[in-house]
Structure 1
Amino acid sequence: MTVAFWCVLIAIFLPYLCNSIAKFSGGNFGLRQNHDPRAYLETLEGFPRRAQAAQLNSFEVTPAFAAGVIIAHVANVAELVTIDVLAVLFITSRLLYIICYLADWAVLRSLVWFVGMALIASFFFVSI
């Protein structure tokens, strides 16, 4: 299994990291809130709400990243190291994105998001 495929697995779990941050930094998540966690998450404000938003964005971008990695592998890109490097850079950009979201650095977060999207596009360009 390539490094890029491991990065897909990491990307799949990043939203759950954000979800845990949202739930447990809200201060009162317990068994009662676990009966309807989505309703609970919608009531959050500030830091926990930003963690929830980072979770949702992570769910949105992961399929495109996974598709890019798979397509690059199927296209038999000559240098597998290229795919691996792009994947590691993407995971790095996602971690920075989450940090920026949690810290409420909106402009930097948007720039990091664009970098991540460019990295996804790169998988398709190296497959040509």
Structure 2
Amino acid sequence: MTLAYWIVLVAAVMPVVFAGIAKAGGEAYDNRNPRDWLARQEGWRKRANAAQQNSVEAFAPFAAAVIIAHQLGAGQATINTLAVLFILCRVVYGALYIKDMHSLRSLAWLAGFGCVIALFIVSI
């Protein structure tokens, strides 16, 4: 299995990590109804939950791009590099989201999305 495929697994786990951050140490956390509890949160918890939701949204295009790049014979080193860069961008994105650094967060999101686009382009 290639490094890029392992990175797809990392990307699949990222939403769980951000959800855990949003829920960590929360007062009166309600595991019977976690979505309602998260919807009532403010500040960094709310932003961590938003990072979790965005990570779910970013997963499918990234996973598809990695698989398509493999299937169409793009260079393995290039695929691996773009996959690692995507994850690094997503980690930075999440940290900036939680810290409420919105302008830098948007740049990190754009860089990660650029990695997805690049995976498609190297497949041509």
Please give the alpha-carbon distance, in whole angstroms, between the structure 2 residues aligned to 1:52 and 1:3: 28
* Structure 2 equivalent of residue 111 of structure 1: 107
Of 85, 102, 121 in structure 2, the residue corresponding to residue 125 of structure 1 is: 121
Q: TM-score scaled to structure 1, two decimals?
A: 0.94
Q: Which amino acid aligns with 2:5?
A: F
Q: Which runs of 4+ in 1 moved over 3 A?
A: none
Of 51, 57, 63 in structure 2, the residue corresponding to residue 54 of structure 1 is: 51
Q: Which amino acid aligns with 1:26?
A: G
CA contact (8 A) 1:4 1:87 kept: yes
The runs of 5 or more residues in structure 2 that have no matched partner are none
* Structure 1 equivalent of residue 26 of structure 2: 26
* Structure 1 equivalent of residue 85 of structure 2: 89
Please give the alpha-carbon distance, in whole angstroms, between the structure 2 residues aligned to 1:111 and 1:25: 30
* Structure 2 equivalent of residue 80 of structure 1: 76
Q: Which amino acid aligns with 1:117?
A: F
* Structure 1 equivalent of residue 2 of structure 2: 2
Give CA-to-partner distance per residue, 1:67-112, whole Å, 9 cap, x none.
00000000011x2010000000000000000010011100000011
- SS for the counterpart of 2:23 is helix
Q: TM-score scaled to structure 2, two decimals?
A: 0.97
Task: Quote how far apart the aligned CAs of 1:26 are.
Answer: 2.8
